[in-house]
Structures are given as C-alpha cells and as structure tokens.
A and B are shown apart, each in its own frame.
Chain A
Amino acid sequence: MTTHISPAMIARYADRGSDLDEVTVWSIEVHLEDCADCRALVAAGTTGDTGALLARIAAGVDEAIAAGPVPAPRRRWSAVPNRWLVWHLVPWLSMTVAVLGCAVLLQAVQPSLPSLVALLAPVAPLPGVAIAWSRRTDPAWELIASTPAAGLAILLRRTAAVLTVVVPALAVASSRTGVSLALTLLPCLAFTAATIALGAYIGVRLAAVGLGIAWALAVVLPAVLTAELPAVLQPGSSLAWALLTLLLAGVAATQSDNFRRLSSHH
C-alpha cells in the first residue's frame, strides 16, 4: 500500500474514546502492520495512560525474557544427517583404504604381479555402499522408510559420501603404482552404479556381495593365476567402462520407485 493514513485518522485511531467504525479500524490496522512510519505517528499520538500501559507491558516482557532460558545459539545443522553415516562407515572405509595401501606396497615389492590396484578398484566402494543402505546396519531404518525423503535420493547421498573417500584413495594408489587413472576410477564408478541398479531388484547389500564375488571369480582369480592383467583392464577398454557406467546409471535412475519402500529383501 502506498497511500499513508491521514494524520487526522491516526489521531482518531489512537484516541480510545473515538467513534471510528470497525471496518475503518481494520483497514488502518492492516496498513499499520506493514508501515513503520504510520506506526510511529500512532505511538506519538497516544495519551499518557496508554504510554504508561505500554511501558508496563514492555517491562513485563523484558522481565520474562530475562527470567527465561537463554536463546540457543544459531547452529549449522546441515552437517547432522551425515554424522551417523560418518561414524558408521569409518571402520569400513579405513579397511578399504588399508587394503589399497597394502596393494600399493605389494606392487612395490613384487613389480611382476598384475596391477593389484586396478584389480581392486571396482570392488573398493562396494563394502561402503552396502553398509550405507541396509536395514541391518541402519538402526533407524523403519523411521526413515516412512519419510518422503526415503529412496534413491538418500541412497545416492550416502553413496556419494562413500565415494568422496574411495575415489581420492584410488587416485593416490593409481598414481603411486603408475596405473591409468581412467582404468581405476571408471570401473569403480561402473561397479557402484551396477550395485545400485541391481540393488533395485535384489537389495543393495546382496547386489554388492554378488558383484564382489563375481568380479573376484571372473577377473581377479584368473589374473593372479596367470600373472597377467585381464583384457577388461587393458588400456583400450576405458571407453567401454565409461559407456557401461552411463548405461548402469541410467538403469538405476529409472528404478527409483523400487527404493521407496524397504521391502523384506532390502
């Protein structure tokens, strides 16, 4: 509202004995709520009685505030949602980092072995992802499962938390052993996406276990026996891994409905 109330109106409004009709009073009050200038005029126009009453109320309010509890300091609580996750994942993530460290050391001692870092990279995020979304490991799963936020979004948020530790660890390990960075990180992301995509059908935990075992039997074991890096991890395969990652991420995205409820297998 741009037109202010006339001083004469304000004087009549401030005078308790005046004859203003209710509708006018209401429209004045609506204006006063938004206009500090007119409020100041009302305050200036009040009688001594009203001033004393207001002073008494102000003193009472001040007193009650002083007697009440101290206001809580403004907190940043956006960090809270991840606190459980961080504590819970610490042992798993430190184990993953330790295993990668051992792979780097072993590589230094035995350079003839096929790259252990490259062999371990796809399965490195799996323990963390499995823990991040499982009703066995999340104590509040039943509460969370009934909230609108439950679903793929939370799973992705928790997976991202896992990857922020695993990806740098892999990057360091690959640079120490001279393995191609793309052939370390792309399979890692592809397996993460595969876990989520498969998890939509059989549960994330089971998907992580299944994919880990399949990788160990199909690729790691033959590589260790033949002492040669398998074809899937040869330099030319980066593009295939990148495409696979995109494809699996797409599949996971279309299955978001399957994460809305924690059915018995999740």
Chain B
Amino acid sequence: MRTVSAAETAPTTYPWAIHAEGLRVRAGRHLAVDGLDLALGAGVHGLLGPNGAGKTTLMRALATVLKPAGGRLALLGESVDSRADLRRVRRGLGYLPQQFGFYPRFTVREFVEYMAWLKEMPKTAVPGAAQRAIERVGLTAKADARMKALSGGMLRRAGIAQAIVNDPQVLLVDEPTVGLDPEQRLDFRELLRDVGVDSCVLVSTHLVEDVVAACTDVVMVNEGRLVYQGTPDDLVAQGSEGDPGDSPAERGYSALLRRHRAVTGR
C-alpha cells in the first residue's frame, strides 16, 4: 500500500491537462506542427495521422523537449512557452519517445531508478517506485538484467516503466506497441486504461485498431493541424463500405483523411 499525498488529492485548478492554441513547432527548418489547437483532459487519447503528419514533433513539444516556434502551449495549467521554468511541469510528465536510447550497461532497475532520480522524486521513494513500475509492465523477472540483454519488446516495456515511474499526470507515448506481441499489447492497453483513469494519456500510433481498442478519445492530425477529435465510435461512424480499410475504424480513418485532403487541396 502507498500513502496518498495531499498534492494527489488536491483538486486540479486547470480545465485541460494539455492545452494548445495555434501551436507551431519546427522540426529542423520545416514547420511540422502548424497552427494546432488541442485540449485534452483525463483519459486515454489516441493520436492518429499519416506518416509525416507531425505526430512525433507534436509529442516532443508536449514533452517539453522541443521549444514551440509560436502559439500557446500549457501543460497542467502552466505555460511552457520559450522562457518558462519547466521543472514543475516536468515532474508531472511521463514520456516514451519513438526511438528511445538507453545505457546498455544499466540494468532495468538502474535505468528506471536513474530516470526516477532525474524526475526529482524523493530519494527514499525511488527504489519502491521503480519496483512498482517494473512490476506494472511485467518485467519483474528481468529487473536485474542488463538493458543490452533485453529483446525489443522487453526494451519497450522498460521504456514504459520509466515513463510511469513518477505516476505522471500527463503520459506521452510514441508508437508504444511496436515490438510487442498480441498478448503484451492487450496488457499494455489495460495499463494505459488504468493510468488514464485520473491522468491524461496521449498515445501516438499508426495502428487504428489500437486506438479503437484502448482509447476513450481519438485525435487525428494531418499536415501539422488537428483534423478530427471524437470518440472511437464516432470515428467508426465516419466511414462507409466504399472507403479503403480492413475494419470499420480504418474505413472511418481513411474517410476523414480523404475529406480533409479534399478541403485543403493537398
């Protein structure tokens, strides 16, 4: 059992965990996110979009790794524009990048503990929190194995463990199910739903099926802009038999994308 701190039970003072208005973010010279409006609260939100839609750049900006080039971005009610002090917001963040680097000589436990320490968790809380996170992703048996000895799926799970070690209020995961087998995928969806009960979870993926199965909400971007936001059921309702795709959700996805491309003329 874990003691619940006063901070955890305090009511939130902001309407949205993630709030972007006219957000613009550069990836190199290219404006990968261009005038995006987005407001997300608690729940599991699936971020969909074709390759090059700006998903990864958006995730990096939300993770405060990239500085926005323009517009407004607030996380957990605090502005994270150019000169902001990011420490408080970052303590409430969990982030798993698409390709995450690690130190091959670290054990899983050392890796997760190191990340917990970087997230400025109290020193005494670090070992327990790391153990709990490792258990939640089902890596207990491998906790003391070196990172370089892990398979791709296990690495992914170690990455998820470091992302949730600080019980983040905003959890950002980029393509999390790549490398996971079907059973691990199911476990992972359950974990996301569990975290999403009282936190804001944003999962970027190219698997429409993952979104329908695990998410309470669908966010779709194209060309760096918001195309659509709604429930998975509503996404399904957007498609018709004539649209390309193997499932109702995929047909809904391609119908939305086709309509957006027709409107913008690209």
Contact = CB atoms under 8 A, between A and B. Distances in A.
A146 B65 contact: yes
Contact of A143 (B64, B88, B115): B115
A142 B100 contact: yes
A252 to B, nearest CB: 18
Interface residues of B, number: 34
A150 B85 CA distance: 12
Nearest to B172: A146
Interface string B67-111: 100000000000000010111101101010100111101100010
Interface of A is mostly: loop
B114 A81 contact: yes
B119 A148 contact: yes
Interface stretch (A126-134, A187-195, A258-266): A258-266
Contacts of B90: 146-148, 150
A249 to B, nearest CB: 21
A69 B110 CA distance: 19
B66 A257 contact: no
Given A147-B119, A261-B64, A263-B67, 6 more contacts: A75-B127, A140-B102, A148-B86, A150-B90, A261-B66, A263-B66
B234 interface: no
Contacts of A80: 106, 110, 113-114
Contacts of B182: none
A149 B119 contact: yes
A80 B120 CA distance: 15
B120 A149 contact: yes
Contacts of B91: 148
Nearest to A77: B113
Given A139-B103, A141-B101, A143-B100, A81 B67 contact: no
B20 interface: no
Interface string A150-171: 1000100000000000000000
Given A148-B86, A262-B65, A139 B126 contact: no
B106 A83 contact: yes
Given A80-B113, A83-B106, A144 B86 contact: no
Contact of A87 (B66, B67, B87, B105): B105
24 contacts: A77-B126, A81-B117, A83-B103, A83-B110, A87-B105, A140-B100, A140-B102, A143-B95, A143-B101, A143-B102, A143-B115, A143-B162, A146-B64, A146-B90, A148-B88, A149-B117, A149-B119, A150-B90, A150-B118, A257-B85, A260-B85, A261-B65, A262-B65, A263-B67
B265 interface: no
B28 interface: yes
A145 interface: yes
B63 interface: yes
Contacts of B105: 83-84, 87
Contacts of B67: 261, 263
Contacts of A145: 63-65
A148 B93 CA distance: 9
A81 B117 CA distance: 9
A62 interface: no
A139 B103 CA distance: 7
Interface string A224-266: 0000000000000000000000000000000001001111100
B118 A149 contact: yes
B113 A147 contact: no
Interface string A168-201: 0000000000000000000000000000000000
A139 B113 CA distance: 17
Contacts of A146: 63-65, 90, 93, 95
A140 B65 contact: no
A154 B93 CA distance: 19
A157 to B, nearest CB: 11
Contacts of B97: 142-143
Interface string B107-144: 00010011101111000001100000000000000000
B28 A264 contact: yes
A138 interface: yes
The 5 closest A-B pairs by CB, nearest first: A139-B101, A147-B118, A148-B90, A84-B103, A148-B87
B169 to A, nearest CB: 13
Nearest to A81: B114
A81 B119 CA distance: 13
B118 A144 contact: yes
